[in-house]
Amino acid sequence: MTLEESVNTLKHHESFGAFINNVHQLREEAINELNSAPTEQIQQISGKILAYDEVLRMSNFEEIRRRFSDTLGI
């Protein structure tokens, strides 16, 4: 099974929607960290943001958000 097939299967499950929503929240927290981060930590935080972005992109977060917006409050 490819990664795309796996994600297509998982995105129908509410628990995966909750997981992806948590990834989105972690991304937002990391973005907020940038405001007060010392210069030497900016690259590390930016790397985390890019990783979160990639997971959200692969899982098609916007579609999952629409699908589970009522049940998960996202």
- Alpha helices by DSSP H, 1-74: 3-10, 14-36, 39-59, 61-72
pLDDT tens profile 29-67:
999 999 999 999 999 999 999 999 999 999 999 999 998
- 74: pLDDT strictly greater than 70: no
Compute the distance between CA of residue 58 and CA of residue 16 in angstroms, rounded to an integer. 13
Q: Which residues contact 14 (CB under 8 A, 6 or more apart)?
A: 68, 71, 72
15: confidence class by pLDDT, cuts 50, 70, 90? very high
DSSP label of 2: -
Is 71's pLDDT higher than 90? no
